[in-house]
Amino acid sequence: MSETPALETSGQREHWGSKFGVILAVAGSAVGLGNFLRFPGQAVNNGGGAFMIPYVVSFLILGIPICWCEWTMGRLGGRFGQNNGPGVMYALWRRAPAKGIGAMTLFIPIVVYLYYVFVEAWCLFYAIEFFSGGFSELFSNALSEAGENASEVDVIVGASGAFFGESVSIDQNGGVFESGNMLWMIVICFAVNFIIIYRGVTKGIEVFCKVAMPLLILCASIILIRVLTLDGISSGLGFMWNPHWESLADPGVWLAAAGQIFFTLSVGFGLILCYSSYLRENDDVVLTSLSACSTNEFCEVVLGGMIVVPTAFLFLGAENAQGSTFGLGFVTLPAIMHFMPGGSFFGGVWFGLLFLAAVTSSLSMLQPAIAFLEDGFGLKRTGSVLILLVVTAVGTLPTLYFTHNLIGLDHTDFWCNLLMILAATAQVLLFGWVIGAERGCREANRGADFPLPRFMPFMLRYVTPGFLILVLGAWAYTKAPAYLEGMSPAFKGAEAARSVYRPVIRAQFAGPDLTDEHLDAKVTEILGEDVRRDGLPDWLADYHQPAEAARDTASADASAARLVFIGLVVFFFVLLALADIACRNRIGRTIAAAERAGVCLESGP
């Protein structure tokens, strides 16, 4: 027997090992919290099965093209020695706006991390509570305290909701610092995230996550099989997937779909820009990014879409199956586990794996800032990690303190989402009109496993940017006013007070002729615009105290939202200034050195 077959066999083993390693890495990078927590809620609240039409359209017109853009631009910027957003953008376009775009790609991942670490802590806390029997005890106590006529579902969901609210201190600001438990979870999350980055054990976490994340997918797949064999599951599937076609006429549904695509694929974040900058010139970006996107969609549509909401509907009813992202993930899911055999174990495993997914996402959000500090200011990894630790620890405080109605998290998330769409729009315009769509697509095809479709230059130059501008405008037009009003203490205070008096006025003037329009007119006539208690009729006197309490609470929330917004604006301009300084100095010199060494980017379309 010759030696060659053995060598060939050995080579084949290596090839198969590397192939499955790549597939595991793709799967590991794809799965995240949004797949299981965000998508089901978005879909069921936006037309059910009909949501898939704007979702697929957004995936094809926005998601995939923007991914290809980011991967390509990142790899291109890496040739100039840049692994950070501002540096990559400036290498591709030597104009001031490039620094602004780069600053956005720096701002977004850092700020998202500031509240993402809070959610990461929830996952860890829930995993511990499940494994330690905390949830079993909680539900047992709730059932024993409830009356005999109480519905078990209502009791369990109520207990789960109360536990969530208490854990995150949803009823009062600053509660996280008083309770202790959640604060320790956050400290642990910070420690885990930063120790991993500080020790540079990326390879360790990579090996671990190559097993853990596909394990999450495997667990979800097993749960999916179990769910699909449940008696009566077709009603749950119907609740999730039956299309409500009329919702397609609502622009909000299209916005929700586009937003979900952004969040789930992490496009416009600046993460991909950073990571792809480490690729070699001939590393593939087309198949790699498409694989990551498709695996993500598998986790989202097939697993997330088929498990959470149908099961919630089946076990808990419609009312509990169409909540918010956090409601589904941290109230409904634990309640479902109560009714599932072995729920404590599976719940612990589920949230434990979600915690790991959150860790890998958190690490990827921290990397762009570290790369910027290293590239832009010559800091070593130790120094950059320490600076980032201080910045994020301080930056997390508003989210952790302003927890009443999760106002800090909600407003930070909204402004980040808006900026994310703006950053993606800017990047696509830069790709299509500055680098040039044809040139950019040729660059993307370098080393590609298969070339981009021939229509991609046209799409990246006109269709994707056009759709993005539409989404951006619609998003700002429909959502921004509410959030801007949400920062006005006077407005929100009056609104809260009005909500207390309104049912009383309705009862006072109840009659067959009292339509909603008449009631609104009557409310305005009696209360006025700012709803001050002076001059109000005597029959409203009993409601002054609760109205003022509601006013004070809402005003405090609005003040908190305003503070968060101001902080975000200040932080952005600080990053912009730092990006400008870095581009004028170290980044500029590195780019110039690369150009002298022969690296170039032809300009023009």
Partner 1 sequence: MTVCTLVAQSGESSVTLEPAGVVVMGLSILIVCGLTLFCIVRLLRDQAPADHHHTPLDIDTHDAEP
Residues between 70 and 109 with contacts to partner 1, criterion CB under 8 A = 83
Per CB under 8 A, 140 contacts partner 1? no
Q: Are 425 and 267 in contact (CB under 8 A)?
A: no
Residue span binding partner 1 (CB under 8 A) among the ranges 273-281, 326-334, 345-353, 464-472: 273-281
- Considering only residues 403 to 422 of the shown chain, the ones binding partner 1 according to CB under 8 A are none
Q: Are 603 and 438 in contact (CB under 8 A)?
A: no
Q: Strand, coil or helix: what is 48?
A: strand
Per CB under 8 A, 10 contacts partner 1? no
Q: Which of 32, 41, 49, 86 binds partner 1 (CB under 8 A)?
A: 49
The CB-of-542 to partner 1 minimum distance in angstroms stands at 36
d(CA 432, CA 69): 9
Q: Which of 6, 7, 19, 510 binds partner 1 (CB under 8 A)?
A: 19
Contacts of 91 (CB under 8 A, 6+ apart): 76, 77, 80, 82, 591, 594, 601
The CB-of-536 to partner 1 minimum distance in angstroms stands at 42
Question: Which one, 167 or 289, has the nearer CB to partner 1?
Answer: 289
Which helix (H) or strand (E) covers residue 517, if one does? helix 516-527
Question: CA angle at residue 382 from 380 to 384, to 5 degrees?
Answer: 70
Give me the 374-403 binding string for partner 1, x by CB under 8 A, dash otherwise: ------xxx---------------------
The label of the residue with tokens 């300084």 reads 581
Name which of 294, 299, 328, 385 is nearest 31 in CA terms.
299
Q: Are 502 and 550 in contact (CB under 8 A)?
A: no
Per CB under 8 A, 584 contacts partner 1? no
d(CA 103, CA 114): 17
Q: Are 412 and 564 in contact (CB under 8 A)?
A: yes
Q: Which of 48, 54, 86, 102 binds partner 1 (CB under 8 A)?
A: 48
Residue ranges of alpha helices (H) inside 318-406 are 325-327, 333-339, 343-377, 381-401
- Per-residue b/e over 41-75, b at no fewer than 16 CB within 10 Å? bbbbbbbbbbbbbbbebbbebbbbbbbbbbbbbbb
Q: Are 183 and 124 in contact (CB under 8 A)?
A: no
Question: CA angle at residue 457 from 453 to 459, to 5 degrees?
Answer: 85
d(CA 453, CA 443): 13
- Considering only residues 305 to 324 of the shown chain, the ones binding partner 1 according to CB under 8 A are 305, 313-318
Q: Which of 9, 140, 235, 603 binds partner 1 (CB under 8 A)?
A: 235
Residue span binding partner 1 (CB under 8 A) among the ranges 118-126, 193-201, 390-398, 473-481: 193-201
Contacts of 259 (CB under 8 A, 6+ apart): 42, 417, 421, 475
Residue type, 593: A
Q: Cα dist. 57→249, 311, 596 in Å?
A: 15, 27, 44
The CB-of-343 to partner 1 minimum distance in angstroms stands at 12
The CB-of-234 to partner 1 minimum distance in angstroms stands at 4
Q: Which of 39, 122, 239, 254 binds partner 1 (CB under 8 A)?
A: 239
Residue span binding partner 1 (CB under 8 A) among the ranges 111-119, 209-217, 409-417, 524-532: 209-217
Q: Are 89 and 598 in contact (CB under 8 A)?
A: no
Q: Which of 280, 516, 542, 602 binds partner 1 (CB under 8 A)?
A: 280
Q: Cα dist. 178→116, 184, 210, 401 in Å?
A: 21, 11, 37, 10
Residue span binding partner 1 (CB under 8 A) among the ranges 178-186, 270-278, 454-462, 492-500: 270-278
Per CB under 8 A, 246 contacts partner 1? no
Per CB under 8 A, 356 contacts partner 1? no
Question: Which one, 237 or 558, has the nearer CB to partner 1?
Answer: 237
The CB-of-513 to partner 1 minimum distance in angstroms stands at 34
The CB-of-48 to partner 1 minimum distance in angstroms stands at 8
Per CB under 8 A, 193 contacts partner 1? no
Name which of 267, 345, 284 is nearest 61 in CA terms.
267
The CB-of-370 to partner 1 minimum distance in angstroms stands at 8
Per CB under 8 A, 26 contacts partner 1? yes
Per CB under 8 A, 373 contacts partner 1? no
Per CB under 8 A, 149 contacts partner 1? no
d(CA 11, CA 533): 82
Residue span binding partner 1 (CB under 8 A) among the ranges 104-112, 124-132, 416-424, 447-455: 447-455
Q: Which of 10, 13, 15, 462 binds partner 1 (CB under 8 A)?
A: 15
Question: Which one, 172 or 235, has the nearer CB to partner 1?
Answer: 235
SS3 of 329-342: the string is HHHHHHHHHHHCCC
Question: Which one, 25 or 456, has the nearer CB to partner 1?
Answer: 25
The CB-of-209 to partner 1 minimum distance in angstroms stands at 6
d(CA 413, CA 396): 13
d(CA 99, CA 88): 9
The CB-of-375 to partner 1 minimum distance in angstroms stands at 11
Per CB under 8 A, 343 contacts partner 1? no
Question: Which one, 50 or 554, has the nearer CB to partner 1?
Answer: 50
Per CB under 8 A, 477 contacts partner 1? no
Residue span binding partner 1 (CB under 8 A) among the ranges 115-123, 286-294, 343-351, 402-410: 286-294
Per CB under 8 A, 38 contacts partner 1? no
Question: Which one, 190 or 415, has the nearer CB to partner 1?
Answer: 190
Q: Which of 38, 79, 99, 210 binds partner 1 (CB under 8 A)?
A: 210
The CB-of-276 to partner 1 minimum distance in angstroms stands at 8
Q: Cα dist. 549→170, 500, 555 in Å?
A: 17, 10, 10
- Considering only residues 511 to 550 of the shown chain, the ones binding partner 1 according to CB under 8 A are none
Q: Cα dist. 46→43, 256, 296, 313, 319 in Å?
A: 5, 8, 20, 16, 15
Give me the 157-186 binding string for partner 1, x by CB under 8 A, dash otherwise: ------------------------------
Question: Which one, 150 or 480, has the nearer CB to partner 1?
Answer: 150
d(CA 79, CA 593): 11
Per CB under 8 A, 154 contacts partner 1? no
* Residues contacting partner 1: total by CB under 8 A: 80
Per CB under 8 A, 206 contacts partner 1? yes
